[in-house]
Amino acid sequence: MSSVPSCPSCRQPMEVHRFASHAGPELELDICFACQGMWFDRHENLKLAPAAVVGLFKLLHEHREDQHLPLATSMACPRCVAPLQKGFDVVRSGRYMIYRCGRQHGRFSTFSSFMTEKGFVRHMTRPEIDDMAKRVGAIYCTSCGAPVDIRKDHACPYCRAAFSLIDPQAVARAMEGYAEAGARAKLHAAQAAPVDIGDALVALERDRTRAERERQKKAFTSTSDDDDSSITGDLLAVGVGLVWAMLKAS
Ligand SMILES: [Zn+2]
Ligand SMILES: [Zn+2]
Ligand SMILES: [Zn+2]
């Protein structure tokens, strides 16, 4: 690819990142961190090697405090600018949304959809949902990205997906074939550590609020409230953080 493709959603240039593939040359993935999504040329998503998945988690973790944009209602193919067609794919761990070019150029996938597609998510248990409802008012649906009131709704009212969470154990299982024996043992130890998701959500949002305040200070705009009750928990970012902590420990 000679030119940098535009994000199908916000139309800004995407970041091009190179990743190891199972066979043949490296893969180039085009990523937009603001829109939380990436573009896969035809079949690219099937070829990511485990080392590339590790690299991807590292990148997502590094960008955890980036500002997010809502997805545009109409998206354009970065190769031919034709409108992308929205559809659902189904895997064992759930349904996920995908945006395809009708001319077979490829597909735009949100980070959440990618995690679901790879089998990296699991459904949340009722006690987990109840506990989280006490800590945060809303969460972003892992399936479609919409903010959802978890105290009222039992599934996402927009895409009907059950509440799900990145599962470090599922990621670890996928990595095991790749990790060396020593790393594998540490992987097991790391994934056995229990984590309070509610705590992790609140901590992440505090970091983000702080980062946002820094940004506003730099822009010389005034800032007023830093109110915890308006938190919308970002399960995806929390899950990425947990996985990255595990991968780093191994
Ligand atoms: Zn974008
Ligand atoms: Zn196209
Ligand atoms: Zn949803």
pLDDT in tens, the chain (250 residues): 447 889 999 999 999 998 877 777 788 889 999 999 999 988 776 677 777 888 889 999 999 888 888 889 899 999 999 999 999 888 877 778 899 999 999 999 999 888 888 888 888 888 888 888 888 878 888 777 788 888 888 788 887 778 888 888 888 877 776 656 666 666 666 666 666 777 777 788 888 888 888 877 776 654 444 444 466 788 888 889 888 888 887 6
Residue 71: which of 146, 17, 123 has the closest Cα? 146
Task: Using the mean position of ligand 3's atoms as its centre, give its distance from the Cα of residue 235 in Å.
Answer: 12
Question: What are the respective helix, strand and coil percentages of the chain, to the nearest 5?
Answer: 40, 25, 40
Strands in 232-233's sheet, in edge-to-edge order, are: 147-149, 138-140, 232-233
Residue 10 lies in a domain: no
What residues have their beta carbon closer than 5 A to ion ligand 3?
141, 143-144, 146, 156, 158-159, 161
Assess contact for 40 and 109: CB atoms under 8 A: yes
Residue 95 lies in a domain: yes
Task: Using the mean position of ligand 1's atoms as its centre, give its distance from the Cα of residue 176 in Å.
Answer: 33
Residue 105 lies in a domain: yes
- Residue 101, pLDDT score: 96
Distance between CA atoms of 175 and 85, rounded to whole angstroms? 32
Task: Using the mean position of ligand 2's atoms as its centre, give its distance from the Cα of residue 39 in Å.
Answer: 11
Nearest ligand, measured from the Cα of 79:
2
Task: Using the mean position of ligand 1's atoms as its centre, give its distance from the Cα of residue 96 in Å.
Answer: 19
Report the number of distinct structural domains present in the chain.
Answer: 1
List the beta bridge partners of residue 108. 39, 99
**Which residue type occupies 7?**
C
Helix (H, G, I), strand (E, B) or coil at 32: strand
Distance between CA atoms of 42 and 107, rounded to whole angstroms? 7
Residue 6 lies in a domain: no
Residue 101 lies in a domain: yes
What domain range is 81 assigned to?
15-249
Assess contact for 38 and 113: CB atoms under 8 A: no
Residue 9 lies in a domain: no
Task: Using the mean position of ligand 1's atoms as its centre, give its distance from the Cα of residue 112 in Å.
Answer: 15
Residue 2 lies in a domain: no
- Residue 1, pLDDT score: 46
Task: Using the mean position of ligand 2's atoms as its centre, give its distance from the Cα of residue 74 in Å.
Answer: 14
- Residue 191, pLDDT score: 63
- Residue 235, pLDDT score: 84
Task: Using the mean position of ligand 3's atoms as its centre, give its distance from the Cα of residue 246 in Å.
Answer: 27
Task: Using the mean position of ligand 3's atoms as its centre, give its distance from the Cα of residue 95 in Å.
Answer: 10
Residue 168 lies in a domain: yes
